[in-house]
Structure 1
Amino acid sequence: MHEYTSRTRVWGVSCPGLPEEVSRARRWTRDILRGSPFAEDAELIVSELSANAILHTASGREYGSFHLAVAVSAQVVAVSVTDDGGTGTAPKVEHQDQDAEHGRGLGMVNALAHRVIVHASGTGRTITAELFTDARRGGQPC
């Protein structure tokens, strides 16, 4: 393999910060990961992260948007949602009781993913959830 060639495939899409775009982001993720054992978990993660971007950041304001990326390699499926920022508080996992209507989404993402990374920049935050494959036990690339 050439040193500059990667076996990682990456897709990206930008969505207006409208509630109906969450379902579009889910469908887009499901289509990309069709046949992957991580498709359902990734779809749920994208749904939660996209909804959070719209509800809790400038992404949900007029002319706001969020950006979604999916990266697939033999070792990992990574889904990232980048928001437009505009809040002074960092996303955090909250431990809510099972009857709570809000505050459980990032906890669910954290439970589904093998690793969650929050990266803040001057223009917003990117939350990446990684789902690791188990290639050592005969797992197939995603």
Structure 2
Amino acid sequence: MSGKRGKECLLLNPRRNSWNFTFPGNPEEVSRARRLVRDVLSEIPCREDAALVVSELAANAITHTRSHTTGFTVHITRTPRTVTISVTDHGGSTSRPRVAHATDSSPCGRGLVLVTACATVVRITGDETGHTVTAELHVNVSVPAPC
């Protein structure tokens, strides 16, 4: 385990509406990114969906690109109606991120499926030098009735 910690580029200020975080490419940093999203969005109904989105996108970055050695960046923007989460990797992949249709026995391939289920909009930009996957969520999510 590396002793490096991610750097918060902006302080966690509840009156702020935009945050940037840079993380080392260690697998344990995915859970740290998830906790920071929950902290930043502590009063927002969609915070658990946002935490799931950042988990999946960060895990994809360190699993499928050279971000496992160089790190990844998370950008969060909050407006009264939406939360936007962007995760930028540091390239090295020969393919563009895409929604895969994994079989029941496949150990991976569900990350972007989960992200698209939570988000109202998903955008993928970039090239072999790095991709940014951006997910936009509605602030007020409706909670379904229990089964």
| Bigger relative contact order, structure 1 or 2 (CA pairs below 8 A, ≥6 apart) | 1
Q: What per-residue deviation string (whole Å, max 9, x for no partner) do you get for residues 6-28 of structure 1?
A: x9810011000010100110000
Distance in 2 between residues matched to 1:91 and 1:49, nearest whole Å: 10
Q: Which letter maps to 1:45? A: V
Distance in 2 between residues matched to 1:37 and 1:87, nearest whole Å: 34
Q: Secondary structure at the match of 1:126?
A: strand
Q: Which runs of 5+ in 1 are unaligned?
A: 1-6, 135-142
* Among 37, 51, 66, the residue aligned to 2:72: 66
Provide the aligned C-alpha RMSD in A. 1.7
CA 1:116–1:45: 2 relative to 1, 3 Å: same
Q: Which runs of 5+ in 2 are unaligned?
A: 1-14, 141-147
CA contact (8 A) 1:84 1:125 kept: yes
Mapping of 1:92-107 within 5 angstroms? Answer: 92-107=98-113
Q: What per-residue deviation string (whole Å, max 9, x for no partner) do you get for residues 77-125 of structure 1?
A: 0001000011110011011234432001111111111110001056311
Could you state the TM-score of these two structures normalised by the residue count of structure 2?
0.80
Q: Which moved more, 1:102-111 or 1:116-125?
A: 116-125
Q: How many residues align?
A: 126
Could you tell me the percent identity over the aligned residues? 46
Moved over 2 A (4+): 97-100
CA 1:8–1:129: 2 relative to 1, 3 Å: farther
CA contact (8 A) 1:82 1:126 kept: yes
Could you state the TM-score of these two structures normalised by the residue count of structure 1?
0.83
